[in-house]
Amino acid sequence: MHTRSLIVIVATLAMARAAAGREALWIEGEDYTTSSFNRHSWYQNTNISKDLLSPGQSGVSDGAWHTHYGSNEASATYRFEISEAGVYTWWIRLNPFRNQNGGGNYSFRHRRVRGSWSSWEALDVSEARDRMIDLVDPGIDIRFIAWCHGGIFSFSRGTYEIHIRLSRREDDQENHGGIDVMALTNFPWSPTGVIPPNTDAPEPEPDEWFALMVGPDPFSQNSIIDMSGLLDKPAGTHGFLKSVGRDFAFEDGTPVKFWGIDASMTETVEAQQRQARFYAKHGINMIRQHPVEGVLGSLQGGPGRRHFDAERLDKFDRWFSILKENGIYMTWSIFYHHVVLPDQGIDPDLYHELPSRGAGKDSYGMATFVEEYQDSQWRYASLLLDHVNPYTGLAYKDDPALAIVEARNEDSVFFHNPLGESFVRGQSHPHHVARLKQMWQQWVKNRYGNDQALASAWGAGLRTPPSNNSDGSVRSRPDSVNETNMYIYVAWEMEADGPRWNKNAERKRMGDFIRFLAEMQRQTYATYEQRLRGLGYEAVVVSTAWKAGGAAAEAANLWTDDAMDAIDRHNYSGGGAGDHGITTGAVSNDTHLAKPGRGILSSGLWQVEDKPFIMTEWTQKPPNQWKAEIAPLMAFYGMGLQGWDASYHFAGSRSYMGNGWPSMSSYVTETPHYIGQFPALAYAIYQGHFEEGPLVAARRLSTDDAFAGIDALAKTQGREGYDENDLLSQGETPVEALAIGRVTLKIEDGQQPSYQPALSDWWNPRAQTVRSHTGQLLWDYARQVVLVQSETTQGLVGFAGGKSYDLPGVTIENIDTPFVSLLLTPLDHRPLVESAHILITALARDKQYGTVYNTDGTELLDTGGPPLLLEPVRATIVLKGAPVASVKAVDVYGVPTDRQLEHADNTIRIDGRYATYYYEIKRQ
């Protein structure tokens, strides 16, 4: 973590005061006035990573922190002197960990010395738990450390005390906790690692990466990034959401697009209110709760008296109501690994094959062909939809703030679960595979009637000899309309050019198997929607967002999704050796900008011609260095040019910006590269800055095409193998078409032929440029940069360093930062060249302190640790149009500061001296 060198860099002071009236107090946990903490020797010292703790005034860490471990209550008092009267923010670094045995319950009170104590207040450490650093890593332990926002105090000059109490809940076996350090400041500051506040820091250099210092948003009325005014409040004002052709609109005809995120709720009411307000401020108008069952848990009680856990349900009801008040709609992803219960009338042979999960068994992957699991899901969903939320007074089925319900998450019968090799061979779930085979036999008999007709249809693909497992047991028998143990295919065997083992001979046979699965899956979706409508739910329903495990089944899988109101997909890029987390090792450091339409944007190839299209999960995962590119690409190309209807970044969980790479997770919305760009992007989406392009590729297939036993879309790959993010084309449609105009797909009998005009007017393969049909976007993949050139929002995304770019309302030159996402947003919704009020959002790479990559960024050698360091965008901006009156640096909360930038002849230079990624321009 390099603590000592970091402390030297920031010039550690226990107390720093500046002549301008700025005051900061840094109080070590062990510098108490009085205390009954027992400083338990094991808890205090054993195996502790001492360099993660504050080193104290000496600058050398001795592992000192103030701890208590036992069963009794303990408290400590801290005395300090205030020299500058004013409002102070209190932060405290402590152990917030709790488990089933107990943990610290912190409360506090304060007073002026010899004055009266304030009332005890609970210290809300719920969000700190999401930011914990393990002090005994690797290993399983109860000793963690995290910063917690304590509160805001008004102090006059004098001596004060804070009294902190550590108590045990009634059902706890243990009472433990620890205090490392606390800070009080009368100026904007937020903690990161063990860096104390510095009131007299030198001005940074133009090329100096700056630390992100951010805490709970003060929600100033002066913030210029507050987009909450663009959200209609409460959510549901315009009635239920409907699919109207290829778009979303509310009941009263109001069109809508959703710029959303997946988000889990914080624990306390106060934190939830901050969280919802924080999201609305950044332009988020939709939350996907995923999975709802994970929040509420399994149903409790026996048959006929099922109910939800009352405490969990109340918390969820309140969260929904808070979002609604803030103009934020909700999507429900109810089921992911749905738990079926032992008393639900499920065949015991099936039930006992499922893996245990919670109070029952995990039915993931099996619901499509096991009706009892579908019924179990429906009992859960209907009970919740019928429940009246006491905070809104409406049953969920009747509340238009519930905009979308998914049938189930990432659960397709064509995927490896269920159709994995051990399943198909009868090794993992023999009774489940027997049921599926019996259904397959019945479908074959219904279609062909007798073996003669079957042999005529399948010809040389008819399997006649038995097929055995490696242990000699029979895994299937000769094909016959009466045979219940006919061979079925593993997902990966459904290859693009036919079955893995008998390419030509078995295409018809495998095509029929695909048709059988598709008809079954489509019917389960139709049944689910019928049940929802019968219950009284009126808004949008989607199937799942999942894919097939083999290319030959992809078109059929999409045909099943088309049974419902909209098409949904998930996609991810980036990341590295840690997969869901960030660790040292290999890094997937590719950029989307090298190939238009590839990566996450390639999901647009599944947009159905006459249905809304949504992406309920996507992100470009850290430690990919270029992840700042994807949110603008999704907004401008996806939601704009392609006309997509809803986008959900994966995933949020906080009420303010995270620290470092938060929780070392691959999936965090609350970082500058994502939520930091959302105000500009949401504004552009809601104000219609980017036009939907005309149709440039309409792929139209019949159902026979989809069930032909081959890849009807004739996809070509950039690398060997099947990688959805590395497509070069689907048939005659190159992925570059996604950068020109709308690209769609429809599988239906009796429709018009496919349509695709020549793309040469917009795509120049030799120059490696693609111009959008609207003229608002230019993708230069030779230089790996996108020019954003609508009349309103303008800027650059990509490797623009060392070049100059002339856009309609601005020239950007002398770019000294290799990679940028640099956007200019007219906040008065006027053409940029005329706008009197402009927001600049300028981001480049990020990393943690001490992070080390190899030369080309393909390996992370050291993860480092907080704080998050941001590379400054260094560029000269020359505005066209009326003279500039002022240019100000803007803080992370969107509030213009007193720091003015020079602007001679409408020329502005931004760089690291201002330690920000927001700027405000006003014209005369």
For the segment 249-298, what is each residue's pLDDT rounded down to a tens digit? 999 999 999 999 999 998 889 889 999 999 999 999 999 999 999 999 99
pLDDT in tens, 311-329: 999 999 999 999 999 999 9
pLDDT in tens, 719-750: 555 465 666 767 789 999 999 999 999 999 99
Tell me what pLDDT residue 599 has. Answer: 94
Q: Return d(Cα 287, Cα 652) in angstroms, integer.
A: 9
More confident residue, 502 or 565: 565
- Determine the Cα–Cα distance for residues 327 and 233; give it in Å rounded to an integer: 4
Mean pLDDT of the chain: 92
Give the pair of three-digit tokens for residue 339: 């738990």
CA distances from 249 to 148, 613, 682 (A): 42, 13, 18
> What is the pLDDT, as a whole number, of residue 373?
97
3-state secondary structure of 313: helix
Q: What is the pLDDT of residues 108-163, one digit of tens each?
A: 999 999 999 999 998 988 777 767 888 887 777 889 998 988 988 999 999 999 99
Q: Span 775-801, mean pLDDT?
A: 98
- Model's pTM, two decimal places? 0.92
pLDDT higher than threshold 60 for residue 20? no
Q: Within a 10 A sphere around the Cβ of 264, how many other Cβ atoms?
A: 16
Peptide bond into 400 cis (omega under 30): no
Alpha helices in 222-309 (DSSP H): 269-281, 292-296
Backbone torsions φ then ψ of 147, nearest 5 degrees: -80, 140
Q: pLDDT tens, 840-861? A: 999 999 999 999 999 999 999 9
pLDDT at 717: 54
Q: What pLDDT, on the 0 to 100 scale, is given for residue 190?
A: 78
Identify the band that residue 924 occupies on the pLDDT scale cut at 50, 70 and 90. Answer: confident
Q: What is the pLDDT of residue 475?
A: 61
Name the phi and psi angles at 363, rounded to 5: -100, 15
Q: pLDDT at residue 14 above 60?
A: no
Asked whether the predicted pLDDT for residue 659 surpasses 90, the reply is no
- Specify burial of residue 309 (Cβ count, 10 A radius: 0-12, 13-18, 19+): middle
C-alpha separations of 861 from 136, 179, 480, 626, 864 in Å: 21, 32, 59, 18, 9
717 and 728 in contact (C-beta within 8 Å)?
yes
Q: For residue 501, what pLDDT is reported?
A: 87
Under a CB-based contact definition with an 8 Å cutoff, are residues 83 and 150 in contact?
Answer: no
